[in-house]
Amino acid sequence: MTDGTLERLRAVHLERGEAAASWLGQASFAIATASGATILLDPFLSAYPRRLHPSPLAPETATGVDLVLCSHEHVDHLDPDSVPGIAAGSPAAVFVVPKPIVDMVTEAGVDAARVVGMQPGGTTEIAGVTVRAVPACHGVTMDDAYGFGEELSDGMVRFLGFVVDADGVRLYHAGDTIHYEGMEATLAEHDVDAALVPINGRDAEREARGIVGNLNHREAAWLASEMGAGLLVPMHHDMFAGNLGSTGALVDLAAVEFPDVPIMVPARDRPFVVTSRRDGHA
């Protein structure tokens, strides 16, 4: 059984210094590298009842995946109904998650030998892909927002972003986050070619409903400018009524306030190519 999503992605011709990406909705992306690795970022693939758009990729068709990154435990980032299908369809896939939630992946049916727990500053290499963990400032509920989750996790950081480096291309996936002190300087050191960043924002009304928010469109553009991202790709703006963001507002604002920030607004399930800016694609 196949739905074609990963086949179309892998069919994109790539040279070293290039990677192909498909946005699957919300914070979910599939990445194909020039050397042939396939990566899923925050794959929210199940038929969750409140989602506004079905996933173009069904869990059972997620075959040939090498690496699955999940930034934190919320269902639209670590989807327990997707994990077993991905793990079965891609028996070599390794799941990388924040160390405090490793047990959530194993409880979903993944063998512990296939799960890597990370903390900020850590690095792991899988299938020729280097993954570096950076903090994200979020919350499981509004009771612990906004922070790093250390009080829930024996001092460990519970929410992560990932810097993914493959064949000379460097991507930053922010997970769910707001700005925190030193964030832009930390990310600037990574010199990323594309930053995948939430834009749905936060406000008192949503927080009163228990929704832990994110960067808004202005904050996302500012962050991309300050960190010197080669490209800003907005995410986490389309999936749940009452918690949406506006890519149009992002583009309009950035054109006036942050004209140095290139923006790519992808269509769901349409591959696009990210190219390295570094000489020699080091």
* pLDDT (0 to 100) of residue 281: 56
Residue pLDDT, tens place only, 45-80: 999 999 999 999 999 999 999 999 999 999 999 999
Neighbour tally for 115: CB within 10 Å:
21
Alpha-carbon distance 45 to 76, whole Å? 8
How do strand 129-135 and strand 160-166 relate by DSSP bridges? antiparallel
Please indicate, yes or no, if residue 271 is contained in any of the structural domains. no
Alpha-carbon distance 245 to 250, whole Å? 9
Give the CATH number of the domain where residue 88 resides.
Answer: 3.60.15.10
Please indicate, yes or no, if residue 272 is contained in any of the structural domains. no
Residue pLDDT, tens place only, 123-148: 999 999 999 999 999 999 999 999 99
Number of domains in the chain: 1
Please indicate, yes or no, if residue 277 is contained in any of the structural domains. no
Structure tokens at 65: 């995946």
Residue pLDDT, tens place only, 178-210: 999 999 999 999 999 999 999 999 999 999 999
Domain range enclosing 136: 5-266
SS (H, E, C) the chain: CCCCHHHHHHCCCCCCCEEEEEEEECCEEEEEECCCCEEEECCCCCCCCCCCCCCCCCHHHCCCCCEEECCCCCCCCCCCCCHHHHHHHCCCCEEEEEHHHHHHHHHCCCCHHHEEEECCCCEEEECCEEEEEEECEECCCCCCCCECCHHHCCCCCCCEEEEEEECCEEEEECCCCECCCCHHHHHHCCCCCEEEEECECCCHHHHHCCCCCCCEHHHHHHHHHHHCCCCEEEECCCCCCCCCCCHHHHHHHHHHHCCCCCECCCCECCCEEEECCCHHHC
Please indicate, yes or no, if residue 92 is contained in any of the structural domains. yes
Residue pLDDT, tens place only, 238-267: 999 999 999 999 999 999 999 999 999 999
Q: Binning pLDDT at 50, 70 and 90, where does residue 1 land? A: very low
Please indicate, yes or no, if residue 279 is contained in any of the structural domains. no
Please indicate, yes or no, if residue 218 is contained in any of the structural domains. yes
